[in-house]
Amino acid sequence: MGDAQAPQRKETTVNLTKRQWMRRAALASLAVPAAQLAAAAPRSGLRGPGLLTVAGAIGAGNRKALDPALDQMMVKQKIAFDRAQVFDFAALAALPAVEIAPTLEYDAKPHRLRGPRLEAVLKASGANPEGGGQVLLRAVDGYTVPLSFADMRRYGFIVATHLDGAPMALGGLGPLWAVYDADRHPDMAAKPVNERFALCPWGLYFIEVQRG
């Protein structure tokens, strides 16, 4: 009885070994197409969906020209560029962050806003925000604000990613908001709270850098 079972155990061991070998071979065959796909993918360095596109007077960028077929919202808002720098949430979070606490017009209460300085975002795009020039800040609804480099530095604009410690959601004021601490600037603090943020498009998604 014992002798009859021994070959069966040996055959089972062989079959398991074959299955393991076949599994490894199958995984190896899948690795080649995956590597080819990775090589063919654009080297944007992004780990998530792009949230902010910066174009105009920038560096080499990490994406090519606007795609008239697929960049539909940009096309409808008559945006054009031959190259751009795209940031996902992780790329923005990797930049040094600052926190401000302005009184917001929507509830007349102070709120904590955190994110990188707008100037740092421009520099990360290869732009040189010195001297004469401006940026056009565009929101998802098409609202566009011209902001000079001088006012950007004077007011200390940030690209806010967090509100009161939480990431801002699309449909609220986010996911990105170009904003500053109006309470700390006498010329702005003297205005009614609902007139302090005309330069601050929430739902920011596109920036065009224009040299003077």
* pLDDT range class, residue 157, cuts 50, 70, 90: very high
Q: What is the pLDDT of residues 41-80, one digit of tens each?
A: 344 578 899 999 999 999 999 999 999 999 999 999 999 9
Question: For residues 210 and 136, is the Cβ–Cβ distance under 8 A?
Answer: yes
Is 46 among the domain residues?
no
Is 47 among the domain residues?
no
Examine the domain organization and report whether 178 and 200 are in the same domain.
yes
Domain, as residue range, for 4: 1-41
Domain with residue 195: its CATH number is: 3.90.420.10
Residue 110, SS3 per DSSP: strand
Distance between CA 113 and CA 161 in Å, rounded? 7
Examine the domain organization and report whether 65 and 160 are in the same domain.
yes
Question: For residues 52 and 207, is the Cβ–Cβ distance under 8 A?
Answer: yes
Examine the domain organization and report whether 24 and 122 are in the same domain.
no
Examine the domain organization and report whether 30 and 101 are in the same domain.
no
The pTM for the full model equals 0.79
Examine the domain organization and report whether 22 and 102 are in the same domain.
no
Examine the domain organization and report whether 75 and 11 are in the same domain.
no
Residue 33's pLDDT is 40
Q: How many domains does the chain have?
A: 2
